[in-house]
Structure 1
Amino acid sequence: MRVLVLGGDGYLGWPTALHLSDTGAEVGVVDNFLRRRYDDEMGVDSLVPIESLEVRTDVWHDLTGRRIETFVGDLVDAEFLFDVVRRFRPDTIVHFAEQRSAPYSMIDRAHAVHTQHNNVIGNLNLLYAIAEIDPSIHLVKLGTMGEYGTPNIDIEEGWLEIEHKGRRDRVMFPKRPNSFYHLSKVHDSHNIEFACRIWGLRATDLNQGVVYGQQTPQTERDPRLATRFDYDAVFGTVLNRFVIQAVLGEPLTVYGSGGQTRGIIDIRDTVECIRLAAANPAEPGEFRVFNQLTESMSVHEMAKAVADTFPGIVEVENLENPRVEADSHYYNVVFTGLPSLGLQPHRLSDTLITSLFPVVEQHRERVNHAALSPTVRWSSPSNDLAT
């Protein structure tokens, strides 16, 4: 199987490329290194140092004898993208190549426009490339559970059976996203479903929860294969922030009461979900949706899990929530598709002890303390981070 990973230099794209290569696929990666430029803009680096894509692929080849082909360019450049798809001739395209931060998209008009243009236009170019070059290519697209918002009903896997005035139909599950980033993902999903329905493309949309963890069996083979560890208030995740604060002896900062509930997933499960989706493709004309998470926890429960697991005293501090969202809500997610394909999930409590605490302890001197505090407020159309 030939797999092209878009965004293959990123937090999830790089370990996914390694996992697929390690399990027998011929892998190519595409990236324009935009995520690295965001670090320069925000003035924050990954907690774990990361090598260039060239060094990473050379190390992987030296260790395994497997070559990962690289293509440097932007999905918004349709001519570049069409050329790569023609040259590499993938069976599957895994699409990670999008601006992935909700806070970043809410900084101001320029950042909102950049997010929507980069994500929606790049994805639309990709759909045309598949349709015009090889409609049999299976698109595996990373979506987000944030597309759904927090409805007061169970969140089904992408589709909803409804009855209205005595008639029944199957429709895409209603979306109520909470940032311009999440809105861009909704637009992607609608465009992909349209392309499957009209052009007969095949696609799997993976609505993923919050990812935690930094190590996979492949990245652990050599420090130069490491992927990112983001912890800042713009690109970091709440669990990463809590782990760093615990190791540094600082209070865990919970936004609001911490009643907001999220789906979460270990990075090792993320890369395996991608492999399972690629190995079991959707049918021609099918827009298939999997909810990709392994546990659901409130932010308060995440803080408690970190505090209970850390071998030391941990305090929790509640801050004013910079986001506009319900402080607590109903949250029940249907998650059956990927387990039916064989996913065996890891649990947060195990990963905290075996991976996250040791990784942070090893690199604690690299923490930018100021970056842990929230700086982007949803209620303001223009924040101080505007450039």
Structure 2
Amino acid sequence: MRVLILGIDGYIGWALALRLLAKGHEVAGIDNLSTRRFSEEVGSDSAFPLPSPKDRVNAVKKKLDASLDFIVGDAKDKKLLEDTISKFKPDVVVHFAEQRSAPFSMRDYNHAWYTLENNLKSTLSLLYAVSEIDPSIHILKMGTMGEYGTPNFDIPESAFVRAVINGKEDIIPTPKWGGSYYHWSKIFDTYLIMFKGMLSSLTVTDIMQGPVYGTKTEEIIDEELRTRFDFDETWGTVINRYCVEALLGLPITPYGKGKQTRGFISLEDSVEALRLLIENPPKQGEYRVVNQFAEIFNVYELAQIVKNAAVELGLKTEIRSVENPRIEKEEHYYNPEIKILPSLGFRPRKDVRGEVKIMIKDLIPYKERLERFKHVIMPKTRWR
């Protein structure tokens, strides 16, 4: 298959590109390199030094004996999307080209507006480009389990639910409630996709993925093929952040009571799930929602798991809860459904307890580099 990845320079985007190339697919990608710039803006950087786009392409050719077209450009540019889609003729377009940080979106008005404008415009540009060039192209869009919030009902794996309104049954979109401007941008994305998909009979997989953790996948065999790894309060997901705290001898810091519960998935399992969804598209014209996670934990449980792994590796650390900078439920019901990926043969290969040891070991050679950025780990961005 021919796969175009928007956001190919990112944590998951690069790892997915490697997986697809290793499986014999043709891959092209677009990225404006914004995560590199925004990481510098908050005083941080990837734990692993990242090669330039040119060096990444050369590494793919040398290590995987594959070719990759890496276009430095902006997915908001509808003309660029049209030209690339017309030339490359993808079977699938994977949309990761969005500002992905909740804290970044909550810094101030400008960051909130950038998040909304960037994410919605890139999504709408893609929807129109595909509908006008070839509506049969499968759009694989990365959403987030955070679109649902933490409702007091089981989270279904469906676009619509049945509801009784004024004594009569009706079909409504699955209720959603964002916890940041980033999450609201994803919710608005979903509604744009549903509406434009209906108007133009588009084929879409909308992935509601939980937080991702991990340093590598099967294809990341050396430094030249590394994907980025963020660990600061703005860009780092909770497990990645905990592992760096443990390595540096800092306290592992759950926010608030630590009972915030989410569905998590390793980087390896994430790219494998994405591959399955790419190779098994929905019916033509169908809008498919997929909940994508492997294990459910609260953030204090994760802190304990990381602490135990660190101790086994001879590191000294402790768990120290800090004031929660976010406005969120700290104790809540959480029961999301997952059926589609198991029906396609997805079986998680990694689990948190085993993977965090690998992560910490992978990070040890970069301890001196990480020491330079330890001041950006503790939360500074306040929701209020």
CA offsets per residue over residues 61-89 of structure 1, 9 Å max, x none?
12232101122211221111111111111
In 2, distance between residues paired with 1:22 and 1:41? Answer: 34
Structure 2 matches for 1:224-303, cutoff 5 A? 224-303=224-303
SS at match of 2:277: helix
Is the 1:31–1:71 Cα contact (8 Å) retained in structure 2?
yes
Q: Which residue is 1:356 aligned to? A: 359
Post-superposition, which runs of at least 4 consecutive aligned residues in structure 1 deviate over 6 A?
Answer: none
Question: Contact 2:39/2:235 (CA < 8 Å) preserved in 1?
Answer: no
Contact conserved, 1:20 with 1:27, CA < 8 A, in 2?
yes
Contact 2:273 2:341 in 1 (8 A): yes
Q: Gaps spanning 5+ residues in structure 2: where?
A: none
Structure 2 counterpart of 1:36: 36
User: Which is further off, 160-169 or 59-68?
Assistant: 160-169
Q: How much is the aligned-residue C-alpha RMSD, in angstroms?
A: 1.2
- Give per-residue Cα distances to partners, 1:183-211, cap 9 Å, x unaligned: 00011111111122121000000101000
Say which SS state the counterpart of residue 233 (structure 2) adopts. coil
Q: Which residue of 1 aligns with 2:206?
A: 205
Name the residue aligned to 2:185.
184
Structure 1 length-normalised TM: 0.95
1:337 pairs, out of 335, 340, 346, with: 340
- Give the corresponding residue for 1:315: 318
Counterpart-to-counterpart distance in 2, 1:280 and 1:162 = 31
Residues paired across the two proteins, number:
377
Give CA-to-partner distance per residue, 1:86-132, whole Å, 9 cap, x none. Answer: 11110000111100000000000000000000000110000000000
1:273 and 1:170 mapped to 2: Cα distance?
29
For 1:304, give the aligned amino acid.
Answer: Q
The one-letter code sitting in structure 2 at the alignment partner of 1:212 is Y
**Contact 1:196 1:284 (C-alpha < 8 Å) held by counterparts:** no
Distance (Å, rounded) in 1 between the aligned partners of 2:87 and 2:207: 26
Provide the secondary structure at the position in 2 that maps to 1:255: coil
- Distance in 1 (CA, whole Å) between partners of 2:126 and 2:181 is 21
**How do 1:31-180 residues align onto structure 2 when only pairs under 5 Å count?**
31-158=31-158, 159-180=160-181
CA distance in 1, matches of 2:111, 2:245: 28
Name whichever of 135-144 and 54-63 sits farther off. Answer: 54-63
Tell me the alpha carbon deviations over residues 11-46 of structure 1, each in whole angstroms, 9 at most, x when there is no partner.
110010110111111110111111111122112111
| Separation (CA, whole Å) in 2 of partners of 1:209 and 1:9 | 20
Q: 1:165 Cα deviation (Å)?
A: 4.4
- The aligned amino acid for 1:34 is S
Between the aligned partners of 1:269 and 1:108, the Cα distance in structure 2 is 34
Partner AA of 2:342 in structure 1:
P
Deviation at 1:160, TM superposition (A): 2.0
Q: Matched residue of 1:216: which SS?
A: coil
Query: Which of 347, 353, 358 pairs up with 2:351?
Result: 347
Alignment correspondent of 1:385: none
User: 5+ residue gaps in structure 1?
Assistant: 380-387
Query: CA shift at 1:236, angstroms?
Result: 0.7
How far, CA to CA, are the matches of 1:99 and 1:202 in structure 2? 24
Letter in 2 for 1:196: G
The two structures have a TM-score, normalised by structure 2, of 0.96
> What residue number does 2:223 align with?
223
Distance 1:205 1:31 in 2: 20
CA contact (8 A) 2:151 2:333 kept: yes
Indicate the residue corresponding to 2:3 in structure 1.
3
Once the two structures are superposed, residues 236-259 of structure 1 have per-residue CA deviations (whole angstroms, 9 ceiling, x without a partner) of 111111111112222111110101
- The code of the aligned residue for 2:360 comes to F
Give yes or no for contact 1:162–1:170 (8 Å, CA) kept in 2: yes
Does structure 2 conserve the Cα–Cα contact (< 8 Å) formed by 1:71 and 1:84? Answer: no
Moved more, 91-100 or 51-60: 51-60
Output the amino acid matched with 2:378: S
